[in-house]
Amino acid sequence: MRKKDQEKTTAKAISKYIRISPIKVRRVLTEIKGRSYWEAAMVLDVLPYRACGPIWQTLDSAVGNAKNKFGVEERDLQVKTVFANQGPSLRRFRPRAQGRGYQIRKPTCHITVIVENISKSGEKF
């Protein structure tokens, strides 16, 4: 499938500069990849991880984009692709022995969710 065709058949949402490590976000993203919207929403509701909140917001935004852009229903949407890229790290310093400073890195990540239509007729958007 060409990139131009792919853009017509999918809706995407990106959340940037989320103050969670991308490693912690990826363990949740593997649980919702390939699921329908309702299944992914239930999984995010049940999992106890802090990363579920920003992922839920991004997924909800992608579904809203699909509804506004193409007029599809939530039940016809499936999570096609999800990934978390590393963002810039915040650098902070803690005092250490003998007047030294110890650097602490606080990671951020960018979450991307792409949903596609899985209607019964087999057509995409």
72 within some domain: yes
Splitting the chain (125 residues) into consecutive groups of 10 residues, what average pLDDT does each group show?
56 96 95 94 95 96 93 90 95 94 96 88 51
Q: Which of 109, 106, 92, 95 is nearest to 29 (CA)?
A: 109
Domain that holds residue 27: 9-117
Give the per-residue pLDDT at 39: 94
106 within some domain: yes
Name the amino acid, one letter, at 67.
Answer: K
**Going by C-beta distance under 8 Å and a sequence separation of 6 or more, which residues neighbour residue 114?**
10, 11, 12, 62, 79, 80, 81, 82
CATH number for the domain including 32? Answer: 3.90.470.10
22 within some domain: yes
Q: For the chain, what is the domain count?
A: 1
Give the per-residue pLDDT at 124: 53
**pTM of model > 0.75:** yes
Radius of gyration of the chain from Cα atoms?
18
Give the per-residue pLDDT at 8: 58
